[in-house]
């Protein structure tokens, strides 16, 4: 900017005032952002603005670097930067729409969903490389396994690369917190078997297709963690077999048709046994009924009832009496 310029009006009516040298950084943009009519300064702080200012500048600069013939001098301008910041304010503050990383950190969504994240930082450590991932709105540290560490060391994964991740886990603190207040221990654990490169034009964040990332068998790593979905080709389908364990040991295998035939014969055998048992019970009941009818009923006098002394005599008297209730009443009185 020219040194003699006192202020310029940029996106949505923001009044941008450069410093004494004619430059405008995050502080100048933050002050200008608060001059927009529809922006409530009570709903945001400097940390929020600096975070989004960082990702907006990073994104717009990437456009100009990767496609200079189309975007050179057209993206990373005060006008576009301010419009992008106002867009994020409208989405997150006014409409309460949150990004994938914010939902995950605040424990309002699961990290195992399929999502596309961008590698925003790589720190080479003695033990293993440390990386940070971003959804374009916020960033989170990532914990990688052995095979992913090897890919990072070989340069196969670099800053700016997009990764399609599924089956991730949130490790560290179990408390819900905003991404900007996340503790150092909070990390997103990703595995090789559930991580693949994403195309450069993939949209960051949660994907509309929530199915796990499908990988071929040839790409599975023994130390690559969980496998969400495997892509296989079925060359032959074997018929269903049934196995019966014998009481004496051993087993018998049957096909579906043989199993159905054996099942029918088994049910028929069970039915025959039930009918035989029913006939036995019916014959026994008829026999007991006849014996009961053959018993000669007699009438007991009060004197006879008083002479009953043992339980056996009382039982026989009740069975042979014409009126058993009379005996019970007189014995109770």
Tens-place pLDDT, residues 23-32? 889 999 999 9
Q: How far apart are CA 144 and CA 117, in angstroms?
A: 14
Helix (H, G, I), strand (E, B) or coil at 35: coil
Positive or negative CA dihedral for 11, 15, 21, 25? negative
Q: How far apart are CA 328 and CA 305, in angstroms?
A: 9
Report residue 249's pLDDT band, with 50, 70 and 90 as the boundaries.
Answer: confident
Contact 226, 112 (CB under 8 A): no
Distances (CA, A) of 224 to 157, 173, 195: 16, 24, 9
| Residue 71 pLDDT > 70 | yes
For residues 75-87, give the mean pLDDT. 94
Instruction: Give the pLDDT score at 208.
Output: 92
Positive or negative CA dihedral for 304, 306, 310, 314? positive
| Residue 287 pLDDT > 90 | no
- Tens-digit pLDDT profile for residues 175-215: 899 999 999 999 999 999 999 999 999 999 999 988 888 88
pTM summary value: 0.69
Helix (H, G, I), strand (E, B) or coil at 254: strand
Contact 129, 168 (CB under 8 A): no
Instruction: Give the pLDDT score at 321.
Output: 60
Q: How far apart are CA 85 and CA 83, in angstroms?
A: 5
Distances (CA, A) of 289 to 46, 282, 286, 317, 320: 98, 11, 5, 18, 14
| Residue 332 pLDDT > 60 | no
Q: How many other C-beta atoms are found inside a 10 Å radius of the C-beta of residue 326?
A: 14
Q: How far apart are CA 192 and CA 219, in angstroms?
A: 9
Residue of 53 and 288 predicted with greater confidence = 53
Computed over every residue of the chain, the mean pLDDT equals 87
Instruction: Give the pLDDT score at 268.
Output: 93
| Residue 290 pLDDT > 80 | no
Angle, CA 99 vertex, CA 48 and CA 160 arms, to 5°: 85
| Residue 91 pLDDT > 60 | yes
Query: Looking at 38-42, 100-104, 135-139, 145-149, which range is the least confident one?
Result: 38-42
Report residue 127's pLDDT band, with 50, 70 and 90 as the boundaries.
Answer: confident
Question: 123, 224, 106: which is closest to 167 by C-alpha?
Answer: 224
Instruction: Give the pLDDT score at 315.
Output: 63
Contact 308, 317 (CB under 8 A): yes
Give Cβ neighbours of residue 36 (< 8 Å, ≥ 6 apart).
Answer: 12, 13, 14, 86
In the chain, the largest separation of any two C-alpha atoms, in whole Å, equals 137
């Amino acid at each position: 900017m020219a040194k003699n310029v006192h202020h310029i009006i940029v996106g949505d009516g923001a009044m941008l005032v450069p410093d004494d040298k004619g430059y405008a950084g995050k502080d100048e943009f933050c002050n200008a952002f608060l001059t927009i009519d529809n922006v409530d300064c009570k709903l945001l702080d400097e940390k929020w603005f600096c975070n989004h200012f960082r990702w907006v500048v990073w994104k717009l600069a990437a456009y100009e670097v990767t496609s200079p013939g189309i975007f050179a001098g057209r993206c990373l301008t005060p006008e576009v930067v301010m419009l992008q910041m106002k867009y994020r304010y409208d989405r997150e503050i006014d409409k309460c729409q949150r990004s994938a990383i914010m939902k995950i950190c605040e424990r309002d969504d699961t990290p195992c969903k399929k999502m596309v994240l961008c590698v925003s930082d790589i720190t080479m450590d003695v033990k293993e490389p440390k990386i940070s991932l971003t959804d374009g709105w916020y960033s989170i540290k990532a914990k990688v396994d052995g095979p992913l560490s090897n890919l990072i060391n070989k340069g196969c994964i670099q800053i700016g690369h997009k990764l399609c991740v599924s089956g991730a886990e949130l490790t560290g603190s179990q408390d819900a917190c905003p991404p900007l207040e996340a503790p150092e221990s909070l990390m997103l654990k990703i595995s090789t078997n559930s991580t693949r490169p994403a195309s450069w034009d993939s949209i960051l964040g949660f994907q509309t297709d929530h199915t796990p990332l499908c990988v071929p068998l040839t790409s599975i790593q023994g130390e690559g963690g969980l496998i969400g979905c495997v892509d296989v080709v079925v060359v032959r389908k074997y018929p269903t077999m049934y196995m019966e364990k014998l009481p004496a040991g051993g087993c018998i295998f049957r096909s579906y048709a043989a199993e159905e035939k054996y099942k029918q014969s088994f049910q028929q055998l069970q039915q025959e046994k039930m009918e035989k048992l029913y006939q036995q019970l019916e014959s026994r009941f008829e026999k007991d009924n006849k014996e009961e009818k053959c018993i000669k009923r007699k009438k007991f006098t009060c004197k006879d009832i008083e002479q009953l002394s043992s339980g056996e005599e009382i039982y026989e008297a009740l069975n042979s009496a014409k009126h058993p209730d009379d005996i019970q009443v007189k014995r109770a009185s």
